[in-house]
Amino acid sequence: MTREVGHVRKPVVAVLGGKGMLGTDLVAACAARGFDVHSYDLPEFNITDTEHVRNVVETSDAVINCAAYTDVDGAETHAELAHRVNAQAVGCLGELAARLGKWVLHFSTDFVFDGTLERPYQETDSPNPINEYGRSKLGGEELLARSGCSYCLVRLEWTYGAYGSNFVTKTIERAKTGLPLVVVEDQIGSPTPTTLVAQAVCELLGQRAQGTFHLASAGYVSRFGMTQFVFERLGLDVDLRPCCSREYSAPADRPLNSRFDCSKIQALLKAPLEPWQQGLERFLRQL
């Protein structure tokens, strides 16, 4: 389905979860690239409602799924809901897209891995999630692949953006309490702005790329090092203390190694992926 503007046919792109942190930036980026983009989100749209999904797939050329259950710790006690949103609904989306001949781009996460590798994770490495959130996201990956639709799967990590709560904004809020702040130093990854993700996805959309890709900013840092960077750039005087993950009590275990090898997706992008410091500094200037 395309809509004709003058003599130019504009592809109709549906963004599920379009009001969230990633979805908001993605809708804006798609519109700027000239796509006829439509945003769908709660309460009017529910990805677990098959009729809602069917109506969207039927009226779109491409579907980008940002809708997800993202409460990592909450998934430990609400596993059924997490799997319904992150796995079953994604499988249904894939089946409808296969039946109607539509392309789907879906997001997954570094949490499908256990974080025990001593090198960055490649797309071909075997998943082994260590929490319910990761298991629900892996379930979505498997059901999407099994559906037979034309799809692109993009795994993300450590994302932050202007339109939602994230590690960066939560850390800044905690710093304002004046209390000591303890942050893990043995979890390593790449802080990745949703604006970077949105621009990369627009390129994948234009190419109708297929397969699985890892996407993150260039370079790596610990959660503790990332927090140090934030406080230094903002000039905040905080009693910041490092700890190990085993000393930090949380319902869900986290992978220690979240590093991605992004060479596969980099080959499809026009520009090099920017260093994590560059994106994070720009984000902090905008706060």
Domains of the chain from N-terminus onward = 2-165+190-220+259-274 (3.40.50.720)
**Mean per-residue pLDDT for 143-157?**
98
Q: State the residue for tokens 């993605």.
A: 26
Q: Please give the pLDDT value at position 7.
A: 52
133 given a catalytic annotation? yes
Q: Please give the pLDDT value at position 27.
A: 98
Helix and strand totals (H; E) in the chain: 10, 13
pLDDT: which is higher, 112 or 10? 112
Query: Which of these is catalytic: 133, 151, 160, 220?
Result: 133
Q: Please give the pLDDT value at position 248.
A: 86
Calculate the average pLDDT of the chain: 96
% of the chain surpassing 90 pLDDT: 95
pLDDT tens digit sequence for 263-273: 999 999 999 99
The torsion of the CA quartet 23, 27, 32, 34, rounded to 10 degrees, works out to: 130
154: tokens are 């993009």
Q: Please give the pLDDT value at position 282.
A: 97
Q: Please give the pLDDT value at position 129.
A: 98
Q: Please give the pLDDT value at position 287.
A: 86
Of the pLDDT bands very low, low, confident and very high (cuts 50, 70, 90), residue 10 is confident
Look at the chain and count its residues: 287
Of the pLDDT bands very low, low, confident and very high (cuts 50, 70, 90), residue 4 is low
